[in-house]
Structure 1
Amino acid sequence: MECTKCDQPAVMHAAYSGTHLCETHFRESVERRVRKRVREDDLLPASATPADPVTWVIGLSGGKDSTVLAQILAETFESDPRVELVALSIHEGIEEYRDESLEAARELVADLDVEHVTVEYEAEYGVRMDEVAAEDPLGMAPCAYCGVFRRDVLSKYADDLDADILLTGHNLDDEAETALMNVLEGDVSQMAKHFDASLGPFPERQAEPAFVPRAKPLRDVPEKEVALYAHLFDVPSHIAECPHAEESFRGEIQDLLLSLEDAHPGTRHSILAGYEELAKMAAERYRGEKTPELVSCSTCGAPTTGDRCRKCQLLDAVGTE
């Protein structure tokens, strides 16, 4: 099959758009969508100058999504003095799995000449996820512990690195799955938080500087296209599932979404577009009516809505505090 835009052989078929793309036009398509999100989410504001550049901290796990995002942004803005890139990696204490992914991250940043900061749970909290998963003092899935610790590290170090924006490599499938999960669970308050987390800075958030705003420039790109980009253009990446992953509900949603996409191409895009509108309305309501005032955690000083943050509560449970 030939490329829809030229006479070269196609390397992929996008059923949602009806196009077949060769290697060159496929690469242009992915990179164009990332650049569009950078513009639409105002990640490079007019106030950024060579003398006062914007700092983007990229959460770099070493998996395909974060490495592809880092490579595209580094190559796109390598000659732009208004942008400073910093890669932030986390070692949770998962032997072999994270060791291999961080090796891919180190290889990438060396190629791109990007500053790289690595934080270990063991040094930061005195815990290793292999041990937490084995002991499981609260009877929760390992992801429930790890997600809290990861968010805390990303927020803390993004702030320490003077980040203007924290970027993560969530793709279209990730975002559509989360949207569908929140709708099926009827979790309107979580929809409001999702808008905050996914759409980057906006005026209301700037008035609440407790957290570095986050953005997801890959969220228009399907997972398979991210994987194909990494393969075709030799982006160093580690493709493997965490050995402690136990997200059965998300797995069911993933299977459902893929079957819907096969039968009705474009379903993921439609879900995310509608969800972002719903999330925006939910965020406006909850910020105006129900958002508790943030205070400092009595143990670590992190922003929280109660006396102690969730991270410190979990550290108590695993016996580190």
Structure 2
Amino acid sequence: MDCNRCGNEAVMHAAYSGAHLCAEHFCASVEKRVRRRVRRDDLVPKDATPENPQTWVVGLSGGKDSVVLTQVLHETFHEDPRIELIGLTIHEGIEGYRDKSLEACVDLAEDLGIRHEVVSYEDEFGVRMDDVVEDDPENMAACAYCGVFRRDALSRYAEELDADLLLTGHNLDDEAQTAMMNFLEGDVEQIAKHFDASLGPLSEREIQEEFVPRAKPLRDVPEKEVALYAHLRDLPAHITECPHSSEAYRGEIQRLLYGLEENHPGTRHSIVAGYEELASIVADEYAGDDGADLRECVECGSTTTRTVCRKCSLLESLA
């Protein structure tokens, strides 16, 4: 099949849009969607100037999503004095896994000439995920521990780096899966929190001063297209599954969505669009609830709704 735009050989067919695209036009399409999302979400504030620049911290794991996001953002803003990109890599302490992806992060940061910071669970929390999986005092999936530690490290270091924005490489599939999980669990409050944390233009969100605002510019791009972009651009992405990954429920939702998308192209886009609209409505219902209950963790001083934050609670059980 030939490219719809130039007649060259197509490398990709997007069933949800009917487009057949060659390598050049496919890559341009991915970049266009990321840049359009940056504009729609008002990520560059009107008061940003060379004298008052913005610091954007990208959660750079070395996987395809974060590598592609960092590459596109760099190409978009590397000549813009209003934006400084910093890559932030979290090393969980998983032997043979994160070490290789860290190499990809280092290579990319050097290629692009951007600042790169590395934070490890071992240095920050005194634990390694390999050891956590063996002990598991809470009898939880490894991802549950890791998710709490990762969010804490990303948020804390984004603050230390004086970030104006924390960007993550969540793609369309990630967002559709999260939406479906919250729907099926009937977790309306989580839907509202998800909206406050990452959806909608920054100018229309209620951003709490305690947290660095987050954004997901890659969320309009399907996972397979992210992988294809990384391949076609020969980016140093480390594409492999975490050996401790055990999110069985998310895996079921992923397989369900694959089937729905194959039979009904555009399903993921519809789910996310509907989710965002619903989230904007329910967010009003829960507006201010978190803010009224926010306090400092008595152990580490981080902002939480608990007396002791979840991170400190888990670390105490591990100790």
| TM-score tier after normalising by the smaller chain length | over 0.9
Q: Residues 114-193 of structure 1: matches in 2 within 5 Å?
A: 114-193=114-193
Matched residue, 2:262: 262
Matched residue, 2:111: 111
C-alpha separation between the residues in 1 aligned to 2:66 and 2:287? 30
Maintained 8 Å contact 1:205/1:213: no
Maintained 8 Å contact 1:166/1:215: yes
C-alpha separation between the residues in 1 aligned to 2:17 and 2:205? 35
Maintained 8 Å contact 2:297/2:307: yes
C-alpha separation between the residues in 2 aligned to 1:291 and 1:284? 13
C-alpha separation between the residues in 1 aligned to 2:289 and 2:117? 38
1:105 aligned partner, one-letter code: C
Matched residue, 2:206: 205
Matched residue, 2:243: 243
Maintained 8 Å contact 1:292/1:305: no
Residue 94 of structure 1 pairs with residue 94 of structure 2: yes
Q: Deviations over 1:48-100 (max 9, x none)?
A: 00011111100000000000000000011110001000000000000110001
TM-score, normalization by structure 2: 0.98
Maintained 8 Å contact 1:143/1:245: yes
Maintained 8 Å contact 1:182/1:191: yes
Structure 2 runs not aligned, ≥5 long: none
Matched residue, 2:25: 25
Using the TM superposition, give the Cα deviation of residue 290 of structure 1 relative to its aligned residue in structure 2, in angstroms.
6.7
CA RMSD of aligned residues (A): 1.1
Structure 1 runs not aligned, ≥5 long: none
Matched residue, 1:74: 74
C-alpha separation between the residues in 2 aligned to 1:249 and 1:217? 25
Match of 2:287, SS state, is: helix
Match of 1:278, SS state, is: helix
Q: Deviations over 1:199-247 (max 9, x none)?
A: 26345523x2111010000000000000000000111100011111111
Using the TM superposition, give the Cα deviation of residue 46 of structure 1 relative to its aligned residue in structure 2, in angstroms.
1.1
Cα gap change, 1:287 to 1:78, in 2 (>3 Å): same
C-alpha separation between the residues in 2 aligned to 1:41 and 1:11? 30
Cα gap change, 1:306 to 1:213, in 2 (>3 Å): same
Using the TM superposition, give the Cα deviation of residue 281 of structure 1 relative to its aligned residue in structure 2, in angstroms.
1.2
Report percent identity of matched pairs: 65
Matched residue, 1:296: 296
C-alpha separation between the residues in 2 aligned to 1:159 and 1:289? 23
Using the TM superposition, give the Cα deviation of residue 127 of structure 1 relative to its aligned residue in structure 2, in angstroms.
0.3
Matched residue, 1:215: 215
TM-score, normalization by structure 1: 0.97
Q: Runs ≥4 in structure 1, deviation > 4 angstroms?
A: 288-292
2:255 aligned partner, one-letter code: D
State how many pairs are aligned: 318
Maintained 8 Å contact 2:87/2:115: yes
Using the TM superposition, give the Cα deviation of residue 288 of structure 1 relative to its aligned residue in structure 2, in angstroms.
4.2
Match of 1:251, SS state, is: helix
C-alpha separation between the residues in 2 aligned to 1:82 and 1:148? 32
Q: Deviations over 1:135-164 (max 9, x none)?
A: 101100011111000000000000111111
1:123 aligned partner, one-letter code: D
Maintained 8 Å contact 2:290/2:305: no
C-alpha separation between the residues in 1 aligned to 2:82 and 2:300? 34
Match of 1:85, SS state, is: strand
Maintained 8 Å contact 2:168/2:216: yes
Using the TM superposition, give the Cα deviation of residue 287 of structure 1 relative to its aligned residue in structure 2, in angstroms.
1.3
Q: Which moved more, 1:191-200 or 1:154-163?
A: 191-200
